[in-house]
Chains A and B, each alone.
Chain A
């Protein structure tokens, strides 16, 4: 006759939970595929484009060739594209927006035709004029120097990926625990479990552990995607990132358990979960910085668990900050998670 040890129930519950998740196509999509699609979509939409090349038409006459030669000599030649066209075609295409500027050169000098209502046209005028004057030998009255800055770490996608990671940990924690618990309660499976010698703590531990396993996959996928697809640079230590993500997963697991502690029906818990998550989608700086909200509500925003998670993730991933420096957001998460868990256990209904 087989004999089961103390932890047999825990391992069997964890195994069963992982199998159930793995066999649920919706879970795979929402937890793993959806955040990647979101990152991909937003990353492409807000990518840092190289400066546009300015299209310029040069009216064909005896001076046209010298204009082209001047442009080719200028330091700005790579950002200006010039075509030589007869006057009518040049004006027509300018009107249609194909060219931002028409340059006519005659014995009196250069003549620019531009549209002050079109920003790119205004830009083109000063850009081309500057290029031509410099190439023709004008020297600057004041010495200037410029540095280009679009390094990895400061781009929108770098801001976005840690935010998406935080949001994903919240979503899957709330749904993964809250929804699963109410579903099992509605099926009377919780009641069936407590009618057996199953230890209730094992059940809760197994639920929490299944979240941690998924958390590791979520972090690996999103960060890996950021690094591979957007050449994102991860500054902080992986261990610190995993620690913060684990605390986040446990924190939202606790909030999810609290949300689900009494609800009898899937419908009621779904509404409750969305109600709890909505303020955090808006205020916690997933897609844009929460600094945009009025100063007066900043302390409230910072007290939200998702804000704390996002802040800590960004500090460690983007700036390479240490865990110790993030003790405030970590404490906020621990407080939310711990308090929710204690209240949830008090209120929890197994049937």
Chain B
């Protein structure tokens, strides 16, 4: 029915609160059917504002939004039937049971999914008669996603779906998202976890201060970084060489230092590391720490903004 064109599209999206705070400053997105698309960025980057505009819950100050080829004004009832939405931190009624909660949301849709199937898929069957108030964080989050999936949506919106969850609950949720995608569902999610973005998303937009600063597949974004390997080390003694000294080593594309640790972005670690060891020796210093790893989205973000995704 809506096979042609993008599932979600927005052009030059802007949102200004109270005429002052510019939360979103000109965002363009085009998300294809069947894609899992991630908005990655630190807190306050404008991710939630963006996703809530796309969900039709906030009015943009300017710009165009099309969901499944339709605009929000004039098609709200129709669109709501096709979307599954999980907001950031919704606290569902604690006095209702898991099943009652899913049944309540199912009643809002013309053609809901079977409640039993949804319970099964979310691994909530055992908890179906438990009160929401007694659930763990991971179970509550799965229930929140269940209330979004019970409408048989074409597009699933997830705002920070795994924030505050333990690793096992996070993996369980990722699995649910993948299953939804296998049924040709489109997913738009926001996250500030780079591992989540890397493993789950087909494509990403890295958002900072209301703008897209990079877009592509996780592999493309990392490959776009000059130097896809990171060599991290720390030294004792020596003459306290700084960033500039280490930047002169062969094959080093960029240097960052933090708390006495240095991180070198390099293309070929097997050329850089021997030179690094030699340099340490020449300075009469000792290596206190040495690791090498593949560059991550975090490195991309730090490279682009000079800041970390999770600022403490």
**Consensus secondary structure, chain B interface:** loop
Does A4 contact B112, Cβ atoms closer than 8 Å? yes
Does A4 contact B151, Cβ atoms closer than 8 Å? no
Per-position 1/0 for B107-148, Cβ under 8 A of A? 111111110000000000000000000000000000000010
A186 nearest CB across to chain B (Å): 8
- Neighbouring B residues of A12 by C-beta, 8 Å: 103-104, 106-108
The 3 A-B residue pairs with the shortest CB-CB distance in the complex, in nearest-first order = A12-B107, A197-B80, A187-B91
Per-position 1/0 for A188-201, Cβ under 8 A of B? 11011111111000
Complex partner residue of B89 from A11, A188, A193, CB under 8 angstroms: A188
Per-position 1/0 for A311-327, Cβ under 8 A of B? 00000000000000000
- Neighbouring A residues of B77 by C-beta, 8 Å: 197
Number of interface residues of B (CB under 8 A): 32
Number of interface residues of A (CB under 8 A): 26
Q: Does B96 contact A (CB under 8 A)?
A: yes
Does A191 contact B95, Cβ atoms closer than 8 Å? no
**Residue in chain B with minimal CB distance to A351:** B57
Q: Does A236 contact B (CB under 8 A)?
A: no
Given A2-B114, A4-B107, A351-B57: A192 touches B93 (CB 8 Å cut-off) = no
A3-B110, A188-B89 are known contacts; what are 5 more A-B pairs with Cβ within 8 Å?
A: A4-B111, A19-B95, A192-B87, A196-B105, A351-B57
Give 22 A-B contacts (CB < 8 Å), ordered by A residue.
Answer: A1-B112, A1-B114, A2-B112, A4-B106, A16-B100, A19-B96, A20-B95, A24-B95, A188-B89, A188-B90, A188-B91, A189-B90, A189-B91, A191-B87, A192-B87, A192-B90, A195-B87, A196-B85, A196-B105, A196-B151, A197-B80, A197-B81
Given A19-B100, A187-B91, A196-B151: A9 touches B57 (CB 8 Å cut-off) = no
Q: Does A297 contact B (CB under 8 A)?
A: no
Complex partner residue of B108 from A187, A188, A198, A351, CB under 8 angstroms: A198
Complex partner residue of A197 from B55, B104, B147, B151, CB under 8 angstroms: B151
Within A201-242, which residues are at the interface with B (CB < 8 Å)?
none
Q: Does B219 contact A (CB under 8 A)?
A: no
Docked complex Cα distance between A197 and B89 (Å) = 20
Given A3-B110, A191-B57: A16 touches B89 (CB 8 Å cut-off) = no
Does B89 contact A196, Cβ atoms closer than 8 Å? no
Interface on B for A, CB 8 Å cutoff?
Answer: 55-57, 77, 80-81, 83, 85, 87, 89-93, 95-96, 100, 103-114, 147, 151-152
Q: Does A292 contact B (CB under 8 A)?
A: no
Q: Does A23 contact B (CB under 8 A)?
A: yes
Complex partner residue of A1 from B100, B107, B108, B111, CB under 8 angstroms: B111
Q: Does A13 contact B (CB under 8 A)?
A: yes
Complex partner residue of B96 from A20, A188, A192, A197, CB under 8 angstroms: A20
- Neighbouring A residues of B89 by C-beta, 8 Å: 188
Q: Does A8 contact B (CB under 8 A)?
A: yes
Given A189-B90, A189-B92: A11 touches B107 (CB 8 Å cut-off) = yes
**Residue in chain B with minimal CB distance to A3:** B111
Docked complex Cα distance between A24 and B87 (Å) = 26
Docked complex Cα distance between A13 and B96 (Å) = 12
